[in-house]
Amino acid sequence: MLILNVDDYEQARYVKTRLLRNAGFVVAEAANGQDAIRMAAAMLPALVLLDVRLPDIDGIEVCRRIKTDPATCVIRVIHISAAFITAQDIARGMASGASQYLVVPYQPQELIAAVRREAKWLQ
């Protein structure tokens, strides 16, 4: 299963990618919203792990664009955020089309469990 890991913070992106690869997933990376949209359309990953705070387009808008494009609308999205963690933020994220919303900090096993839940939807 191909996962697109989108996070502008290089260390956070590295940690998630390493964790996912160690769990047997194939991972591509993007550092901003424009690259995420472009890569989602080109690679058609099964899942996008999407940071909400990005330098160019926020993750909520990136998710909305992925989910409204007929070519990418089936891609599953998990929002991840340390900054946007209120109930209103989470509701906005879910309304954009995400299937899950993880709040940082989370335990590594929580991320793997969330990804595996998404993988079950794809079977």
Domain residue ranges in the chain: 2-121
pLDDT at res. 19: 97
What predicted TM-score, i.e. pTM, was given to this entire model?
0.96
> What pLDDT band is residue 76 in, cutting at 50, 70 and 90?
very high
Fold of 2-121: Rossmann fold (3.40.50)
Report, as an integer, the average pLDDT of 14-43: 98
User: Can you state the angle between helices 33-43 and 59-68, rounded to 10 degrees?
Assistant: 30
Average pLDDT over residues 22-48: 98
Tally Cβ neighbours within 10 Å of residue 16.
22
Residue 123: predicted pLDDT: 67
Mean pLDDT of 79-85: 95
3-state DSSP assignment of residue 72? coil
Mean pLDDT taken over the chain: 96
- Give the per-residue pLDDT at 122: 75
